[in-house]
Amino acid sequence: MKKVFFLALFCVTASLAKAEQVVVQTRHNTLVLNVEKGAQPKYVYYGAKLSALDLQHLQTPRADGRMEIYPAHGLNTPAEAALAMRHADGNLSTALIAESVEQNGDLTTINLKDPVYPITVKLKYKAYEEVDMIEAWTEITNGEKQPVTLTTFASAMMPIRRGDVWLSHFYGSWANEARLVEEPLTPGQKVIVNKDGTRNSHTDHGEVMFSLNGKGQENTGDVIGAAICYSGNYRLKVVTDDTDYHYFFAGINEDNSEYHLKKGETFKTPALALTFSQEGLSGVSRNFHKWGRTYKLMHGNKERKILLNSWEGVYFDINQKGMDQMMADIASMGGELFVMDDGWFGDKYPRKVDNSSLGDWVVDKNKLPEGIEGLLRDAKKNGVKFGIWIEPEMANTTSELYEKHPDWIVKAPNREPVLGRGGTQVVLDLSNPKVQDFVFSIVDNLMSKYPEIDYIKWDANMAIMNHGSQYLTMGNQSHLYIEYHRGFEKVCQRIRDKYPDVTIQACASGGGRANWGVLPWFDEFWVSDNTDALQRIYMQWGTSYFFPAIAMASHISATPNHTVFRTTSMKYRIDVAMSGRLGMEIQPKNMTDEEKALCRQAIKEYKQIRPIVQFGNIYRLVSPYDRKGLASMMYVTDQKDKAVWYWWKTESFQNEHLPRVKMAGLDANRMYKVHELNRIDLKPLDCEGKSYSGAYLMNHGLDVPYRNEVDWGKKTDWASRVLLLEAE
């Protein structure tokens, strides 16, 4: 874990003689809790930072609401609970009262206990002062003589005062990930769950924003952001009843996952990351991006390479000559890395399509007679780094691995396995330590034999379709989902302990692993298998709410697009891809010389703006979801000396009328010189090379032509602009 900066915390005595005000503060946020020995701790305040005088006179929330920090089930059963258990004697009730408070630097711990049963709960709050983030989680310990059964175990609960509160969340599917939904919170329950088992961000995302002043605005208004930092099944729930509050619960999805907590065992829930901003939705995003790059994301302070991935170029048709050609092509365009995707492995069962060979991680010598050694040699010859695709958590029933270890797969007892992709795919049971060792060995064997490998694309193309483990006891079958991800984390940590420098992408049927539970071990994620530029605008817009550009792999692909078969202009595809971690997903030998030249120029210019995009502060300006015919956003450096502004048309009509876009995040008193990137127009924009004050750009904005003005035979219905702003 990365070093935590100094945190200002108010002192709290270790033992509680009377009610104490517990304050957790960051640079711009304050969380206030009221803790009294023998009573249930309560929320008092979460929002903008309070002064010492404000804290002294802080109003206690009115009685028409339940302010308990961590309500337990059984003694107020009409209310929603954060914790529920069946004690060893069968009692379903639990009470939690405060014992003491501990503060150790950036960490605050509130110790709770049940006054009747030897059950203790530690509520943990870790503050990240400079990035305005607080992580909250819970540690539950069983002191009873026999196991207790946890049936509900949220990470945290937060009451949110009713008013005009809107919820921003994300839905989707394969090739249509991270679609934004904005809706008011109304009476009843809003529940967002994941039950995939292996991946957790296709159908829904484990991140939400609460806009407290009505429908969320991008750069104004009070907003709370929350993200569950977990790689497995989660449940986010907002309960709105007859009181003055919405009650937000977040944690592991307990469906079919009751947990039998042994005597002396501690169950630790995943962290819920929380932030508050008075600068709207984008303000919350900026906090999450800074926190993620600084403390969570692997190599979050290191620029990402520009790569070519082989998948859409050749699919399974891997061969030595073809890989060499693709390496030479990306090198000629200024790229830095080549990644060989699926189809390179298998001996007894060569990987020719998607129905065999997973688990048999040996080179197919018919395709690659010189092996990985030959590929690394060619990469060095071409002046690029080399990366490789693996899917280590999976197997096919048509594989040598499955023939040797059918007991290693996830499978319901006394049932035939439910099969996935290709009609043969199965999931390996990571609750089993032997399977953990095997999955680790896949990476270990590659990296120890070929330390020049620079990049690993780690895929996961199947959900857990069978609820059952051949390793866990019959009495603990409900532990499968939890133990799978404990095993996954152990493997990832072992890999990073031994190979801290390799870049690893989290690909999971596209964007199935865009979550802060995975990214401490991964450098980035594949946003979607859908590389269509127009649909990527929508998906990357939603993804940007919680994840920085440096983590979002965004590639230039061929047209017609391989998923939606849309044909967009090369410039449009480039301009969209340049808003994330730029790469290519195309067969260069099928490109025209003009297209190659345009990509060569784009890669050169992306290298110029890479620090701004990958480390800058995001300001979303015009949302594609508002259906105004365009989308626009920008990145600005911390010093406000440079910015990159993106403008993409999302529709094209004759006699259309688009809004002028006002910029944000600039220094009002500085002058900024404008330069268009990826220019294809016959003549420069009228603002090219001119300088404008930050105030003018933020209050007025720049007019740009609705179409790219090119030769008649090159006109398309797609138009986009990327402008670099540099302070003088």
Interval 348-353 mean pLDDT? 98
pLDDT one-digit tens code per residue, 172-224: 999 999 999 999 999 999 999 999 999 999 999 999 999 999 999 999 999 99
Phi, psi at 307, each rounded to 5°: -125, 165
SS3 content of the chain, % helix, strand, coil (to 5): 25, 30, 45
CA distance linking residue 475 with residue 182, whole number of Å: 42
Same domain? For 276 and 359 the reply is no
Residue where one domain finishes, among candidates 529, 552, 567: 529
Same domain? For 273 and 393 the reply is no
Same domain? For 389 and 482 the reply is yes
Same domain? For 287 and 344 the reply is no
Same domain? For 707 and 647 the reply is yes
Asked if the structure places residue 603 within a domain, the reply is: no
Asked if the structure places residue 344 within a domain, the reply is: yes
Per-residue pLDDT at 12 exceeds 50: no
Find residue 672's DSSP bridge partners.
692, 727
Q: What percent of the chain has pLDDT over 70?
A: 98
pLDDT band at 167 (very low <50, low <70, confident <90, very high): very high
Contact 364, 344 (CB under 8 A): yes
Residue among 157, 156, 154, 183 nearest 171 (CA): 183
Between strands 720-727 and 97-104, the pairing is unpaired
pLDDT band at 63 (very low <50, low <70, confident <90, very high): confident
Same domain? For 347 and 239 the reply is no
Interval 267-293 mean pLDDT? 98
- Residue 19: per-residue pLDDT: 82
Per-residue pLDDT at 357 exceeds 80: yes
Contact 193, 250 (CB under 8 A): no
- Distance linking the first and last C-alpha atoms of the chain: 39
CB burial of 678-707 (b: ≥16 within 10 Å; e: otherwise) equals bbbbeeebebeeeebbbebbbeebbebeee
CA distance linking residue 699 with residue 341, whole number of Å: 47
Per-residue pLDDT at 14 exceeds 90: no
**Sheet containing 671-677, strands listed edge to edge, beginning at the edge strand earlier in sequence:** 617-622, 630-636, 642-649, 720-727, 671-677, 691-693
Per-residue pLDDT at 439 exceeds 60: yes
Residue where one domain finishes, among candidates 479, 513, 529: 529
Q: Residue 354 sits in a domain of what CATH number?
A: 3.20.20.70
Ramachandran quadrant class, 343 (left: phi over 0; alpha: psi -120 to 50; beta: rest): left
pLDDT one-digit tens code per residue, 79-99: 999 999 999 999 999 999 999
Per-residue pLDDT at 3 exceeds 90: no
pLDDT band at 62 (very low <50, low <70, confident <90, very high): confident
Same domain? For 364 and 479 the reply is yes
The C-alpha angle 228, 229, 235, rounded to 5 degrees, equals: 35
Helix (H, G, I), strand (E, B) or coil at 135: strand
The conformation of residue 632, written as its DSSP 8-state character, comes to E
pLDDT one-digit tens code per residue, 656-712: 999 999 999 999 999 999 999 999 999 999 999 999 999 999 999 999 999 999 999
Listed in order, strand segments (DSSP E) in 535-588 are: 552-557, 581-585
Q: Residue 198 sits in a domain of what CATH number?
A: 2.70.98.60
Interval 597-621 mean pLDDT? 98
Same domain? For 69 and 202 the reply is yes
Asked if the structure places residue 488 within a domain, the reply is: yes
Number of domains in the chain: 3
Same domain? For 288 and 349 the reply is no
Asked if the structure places residue 248 within a domain, the reply is: yes
Find residue 479's DSSP bridge partners.
none
The mean of the pLDDT values for the chain is 96
pLDDT one-digit tens code per residue, 541-567: 999 999 999 999 999 999 999 999 999
pLDDT one-digit tens code per residue, 25-59: 999 999 999 999 999 999 999 999 999 999 999 99
Same domain? For 699 and 641 the reply is yes
Asked if the structure places residue 546 within a domain, the reply is: no
State which amino acid sits at residue 575.
D
pLDDT band at 105 (very low <50, low <70, confident <90, very high): very high
> Cβ of 469: how many Cβ atoms within 10 Å?
26
- Residue 4: per-residue pLDDT: 36
Residue where one domain finishes, among candidates 296, 321, 349: 296
| Range of the structural domain that residue 638 is part of | 619-727
Asked if the structure places residue 9 within a domain, the reply is: no
- Residue 516: per-residue pLDDT: 98
Query: Furthest-apart CA pair in the chain: how many Å?
Result: 82
Same domain? For 458 and 352 the reply is yes
- Residue 18: per-residue pLDDT: 76
The label of the residue with tokens 């994840």 reads 547
